Structure 1
Amino acid sequence: MGDLVGIGLLILISALFAMSEIAIAASRKIKLRVMADEGNVQAAAVLKLQEQPGAFFAMIQITLNAIAILGGIVGEQALSPYVQNVLQFFYQGPLLAQISFLLSFLTITSLFILFADLLPKRLAMILPEAVAVRVVTIMRWVTYALTPLVLFFNGLTNIILRIFKVPSEREDIVTTEDIVAMMDAGAEYGSLQQQEYDLIGNVFDLEARFISSVMSPRDQIVYFDINESSHDIANKIIEHPHNHFLVCNDNLDKLIGSVESKDILRQVLKGDAANINSEMLEKDIFYLPETLSLSEALNAFKTAVQPFAVVVNEYALVVGIVTVKDLMKGFMGDLITHSDDELIVERDQNSWLVDGLTPIVELAKVLDIDEFPHQSHYETVAGYLIYTMKRIPKRAEYIQYAGFKFEVVDVEGIRVEQLLVSKIVPTPEPPQS
């Protein structure tokens, strides 16, 4: 009877070590760090053990193999008499002892496989962090108790790894692909809402997208000429109620400064003519190069603390104007802003009217296209057509890509105003007679 109790204890001990091995190896570092930051000392111990796992795994293998060998020796001797007594009721031939031994071996092996291996490892895989923080203290004490053997086998392992030029420790670097995979899994199982999924995905576009994809282009900038009449200034403020206006001398490339519309309105309310004087003119203009990414532009605004920036190209020519709101909308979309002029309008299930200035990454999301060809060479849908055709496209011209037709609907001068994007539906072949 004592041998049977010993077998049960060996199974329980083996289950503990098998469960500890899987739990500590499978525990997610991100979750453990959160637990450690909240004051969980055991979580911090698991993290420390994961950083240098060699001694821990050496201890686990020593104990598991010792228990398996001991269990085989004790188990067969303990069960064989009981199995033989039961088997005598059915068989009393010359092979009774051999059959009893075989049945005892199979029974002990099955018990160890089920209760000392499969069940505890499945439990550890389901709840890795919860199990790891509960067993880490015991594992550290056992490792300390077996220090001589652990150092010996761990040292041999490290020597063999060095001979074959294999790293002795794993480097856990969380890459963008890892985060995207977790996002996809969260969205699939419903733990991440669609809005949250889109927002996090847009954050990764901050380095990939340039400021030119969100700025107001040069031909859409409303500005004042320093010699403009009071009547024209008043009309521009009425028709374009912006907070700030650029002030130029003849054209945009001769900037003098900027003025706030409230300063001019204050003149009008006093009964004076709408004029631009030196007192209201802000000559300190914030410039940004068009080659900046959205992330770099946000950092620049954070440092400068300016409401808007004039975007210039490498020849110091003004190409657009951008605000913090434009940058935020670039990756937060309609979560914080709303625009009356939609860039992408769905006509039906298979076609969309698209503004030429639509960022190509936004259209890719709508059409479920991973990436357009040579996407780093352009920012907008119009830029995609121009880059592909190697010229300014004309009305009714089109290109095809990824099962979609991109047709030019409207061209204003050299600017592609609007496109019709439609899904190419294959024409069914007529039945053969």
Structure 2
Amino acid sequence: MNDLSLGMLVGILVLMLFLSAFFSGSETALMALNRYRLRHLVKLKHKGAIKAQRLLQRPDRLLGMILLGNIFVNTVAASVVTIIAIRLYPEQESNVLIADGILILVTLIFSEATPKTYAAVRPETLAFPSAWVYVPLLRLFYPVIEFVNIFVNLLLRLFRIDVKAHGMESLSKDELKVVIAEAESFMPARYHKMLMGILDLESATVEDIMTPRNEIVGIDMEAPLEDIVNQIKTSPHTRLPVYKKSIDRVIGFLHLRKVLVLINHGDFDKQMIVSLLSKPVFIPDTTPVHAQMVKFKSEKIRIGLVVDEYGDVEGLVTLDDLLQEIVGEMITDDTMVRVQGDGTYLVDANITVRELNRFMQWELPTEGPKTLNGLIIEFMETIPEAGTSIKLHGYPLEIIKRDGMAVKLVKFLPEHSTKPS
């Protein structure tokens, strides 16, 4: 190297700095690749992505190759700078230290910080082209890299890390929720809610989404026939449970379309209703939503009664309820949640906690009571009077209306309220 001209030495130095920048930037780019986008590009047969994925399957070999190259070019650069400094100032040895200091600064700016920052911001731009370079380099220097990795892997095993078992990491449910939340701006709100609903299916049970017992609309066979006929004609529901005196004595479900064609017959009576009933379906309250959906589909039924461990009816669930858990409840401002001009929210206390959380993007606890009314009563340990103000798990509210048995209407104050998108 002492026989080379000064111009050639400067050229070698520039080349080494460029190679150092390549090794540093490509390392950051390859490690910063979005693994899920990489999988997508591989499925699309993107050649650069295919090579990058193969390299990342063994990161110990890839990093060994990059570090080997980086150490080599930085060592050569330091040697060249020393030779240049000695040639220019043969009698001033201190200038060698100054030259090395300048080299460190130049390397830091042009060969480390700049390419790594660029690679972190736009990893694919640098990662895919560099993958074409590393594949042949790995084959060329395979013996050296394997020799180094023997010692590296032995050291890692002391920390119980098996590099060969390394693979693409999978996302947990909570992590996947974060990904979907961050992607909200790239999809319609209804699709975003559907994806969130699907993720919640694993933890939701039929008890979480059922119509509670006190809201079940059914036909009491002990009522006068005239009242039953009037109820059938005016009912907004397609199917109704039929019982005797109490909902705990259900005898079947009635499909109203079947009975409407007979209702005007002169000989219509209660016995005709009984003959049209389908067998009642009872569902344990701990049944997961996704399991019940499969059961509804396999048994071709659309409605069932939810019962507790003692066999008492707790509520009613339909196939529509299960589907709405995925699609998202169709809550509008003029039904369960109403936005006021002062920024407050009037909320029907019969709303389920899950619906309220989804609509308001809150985090009220869902492990205990299923409705807002139940959550307030559990929190207060009594049925609060109208005008009572509390802070329910961090959310300030005021009781607007109650009856003797339950809270009916609540006003949430704007301190923690965030208007849903």
Regarding TM over 0.5, the answer is yes
Is the 2:306–2:313 Cα contact (8 Å) retained in structure 1? yes
Alignment of 1:49-198 (within 5 A): 49-78=55-84, 81=87, 97-98=92-93, 100-166=95-161, 168=163, 172-187=169-184, 190-191=185-186, 195-198=190-193
Q: What residue identity is the alignment partner of 1:178? A: E
- Per the alignment, residue 402 of structure 2 pairs with 410
**Residues in 2 aligned to 1:424 and 1:41: alpha-carbon distance in whole angstroms:** 53
Aligned counterpart in structure 1 of residue 380 of structure 2, from 381, 386, 389: 389
The amino acid across from 1:343 in the alignment is M
Q: How does 1:294-309 map to 2 (within 5 A)?
A: 294-309=289-304
1:345 matched to 2:342: no
Give the drift of 1:164: 3.9
In 2, the alpha carbon distance for the partners of 1:339 and 1:106 equals 67
Counterpart residue type for residue 284 of structure 2: P
Alignment of 1:263-342 (within 5 A): 263-268=258-263, 273=268, 275=270, 277=272, 281-333=276-328, 337=330, 342=335
Could you say which residue in structure 1 is the equivalent of 2:54?
48
Q: Hey, what's the Cα distance between the residues in 2 that align with 1:312 and 1:302?
A: 20
Q: What do the CA deviations read for 1:213-267 (whole angstroms, capped 9, x no partner)?
A: 3322222222224465542222102331311122223432222222211111111
Q: 1:179-206: CA deviations, max 9, x gaps?
A: 344345445xx44565555444444433
Distance 1:125 1:311, change over 3 A: same
Q: How many residues get paired?
A: 407
Equivalent residue for 1:35? 41
CA gap of 1:377–1:77, structure 2 versus 1, over 3 A, is same
Q: CA deviation at 1:377?
A: 1.5
Q: Deviations over 1:374-396 (max 9, x none)?
A: x4121111111222233444555
- Contact persistence 1:231–1:274 (CA under 8 A): no
Q: Normalising by structure 1, report the TM-score.
A: 0.81
Corresponding residue of 1:223: 218
Distance 1:400 1:157, change over 3 A: same
What is the 5 A alignment of 1:249-260? 249-260=244-255
**Which residue of structure 2 lines up, in the alignment, with residue 90 of structure 1?**
none
One-letter amino acid of the counterpart of residue 370, structure 2: E
Inter-CA distance 39–302: structure 2 relative to 1 (3 Å threshold): farther
Aligned partner (choices 354, 363, 368) of residue 356 of structure 2:
363
Deviation, structure 1 residue 209: 3.9
Distance 1:106 1:244, change over 3 A: same
How far residue 100 of structure 1 moved from its aligned partner, in angstroms, is 4.7
Structure 2 CA distance for aligned equivalents of residues 30 and 221 of structure 1: 46
% identical equivalent positions: 21
In the alignment, structure 2 segments of 5+ residues that lack a partner are 1-6, 417-421
Q: Match of 1:247, as an amino acid?
A: V
| Rounded Cα–Cα distance in structure 1 between residues aligned with 2:297 and 2:82 | 74
Equivalent residue letter for 1:56: L
For the aligned residues, what is the CA RMSD?
Answer: 3.3
- CA distance in 1 between counterparts of 2:172 and 2:22 reads 33
Give 1:356's aligned amino acid.
A
Taking a change above 3 Å as real, the CA distance of residues 246 and 185 of structure 1, as seen in their structure-2 partners, is closer
- Offset of residue 155 of structure 1: 1.3
Secondary structure of 1:378's counterpart equals: coil
Q: Secondary structure at the match of 2:45?
A: coil
Counterpart code for 2:179: M
- TM-score, normalising length: structure 2: 0.83
| Structure 1 residues 361 and 406: CA distance shift in structure 2, 3 A | farther
Shift of 1:7: 2.4
Checking the alignment, whether the CA contact within 8 Å between 1:10 and 1:67 is kept in structure 2 is yes
**Structure 2 CA distance for aligned equivalents of residues 96 and 56 of structure 1:** 44
Q: Which amino acid aligns with 1:330?
A: E
Structure 1: how far apart are the matches of 2:414 and 2:57?
Answer: 51
| Alpha-carbon shift at residue 104 of structure 1 (Å) | 3.7
